């Protein structure tokens, strides 16, 4: 940061005029949680999902006169999310074909250890070492 003051500039007061160069750094925002993706390939065959959606919208249709538009929109989103969580399976991410099923199972175990014990625990560190070795062997 460089600062200079200009004594010859007349501002009409007893203050001196300052000129400064300021460098700013913007904070990098970390990405938030990823949205939940559902596997919609079996949706036309899922009769329970269709039935529950129809039933909940019938109930919602009876009380729409008393609701504000914003409240109605949030209620519709809530219905879709809750029903999808019950009846539609979540999308599974595609894994590398060279990683064995045992290694993928160990990765899930490590994820659970991280949730329960934290990243600095011995359980997590042990799973991490085991997974690194298993991936090296799978390659």
Each residue of 60-95: b (16+ CB within 10 Å) or e?
A: eeeeeeeeeeeeeeeeeeebeeebbeebbeeeeeee
Q: Which residue has the tokens 């329960």?
A: 116
Beta bridge partners of 18: 5
- The C-alpha atoms of residue 7 and residue 114 are separated, in whole angstroms, by 62
The overall pTM is greater than 0.75: no
- pLDDT at 9 (0 to 100): 65
Percent helix / strand / coil, the chain, rounded to 5: 55, 10, 35
- pLDDT at 61 (0 to 100): 82
- The C-alpha atoms of residue 77 and residue 103 are separated, in whole angstroms, by 37
The average pLDDT across 70-80 equals 90
Reported confidence tier of residue 10, pLDDT bands at 50, 70, 90: low
pLDDT digit string, tens, across residues 56-71: 888 888 877 778 889 8
């Amino acid at each position: 940061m460089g600062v200079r003051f200009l004594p010859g500039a007349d501002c009409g007061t007893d203050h001196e005029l300052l000129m400064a160069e300021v460098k700013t750094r913007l904070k990098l925002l970390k990405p938030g949680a990823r949205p939940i993706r559902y596997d919609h390939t079996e949706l036309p065959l899922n009769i329970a999902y269709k039935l529950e959606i129809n039933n909940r919208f019938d109930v919602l249709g009876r009380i729409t006169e008393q609701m504000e538009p914003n409240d109605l929109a949030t209620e519709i989103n809530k219905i879709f999310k809750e029903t999808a969580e019950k009846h539609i399976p979540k999308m599974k991410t595609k894994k590398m074909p060279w990683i064995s099923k045992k290694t993928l199972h160990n990765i899930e175990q490590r994820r659970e250890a991280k949730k329960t014990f934290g990243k600095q625990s011995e359980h997590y560190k042990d799973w991490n070492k085991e997974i690194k070795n298993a991936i090296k062997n799978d390659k």
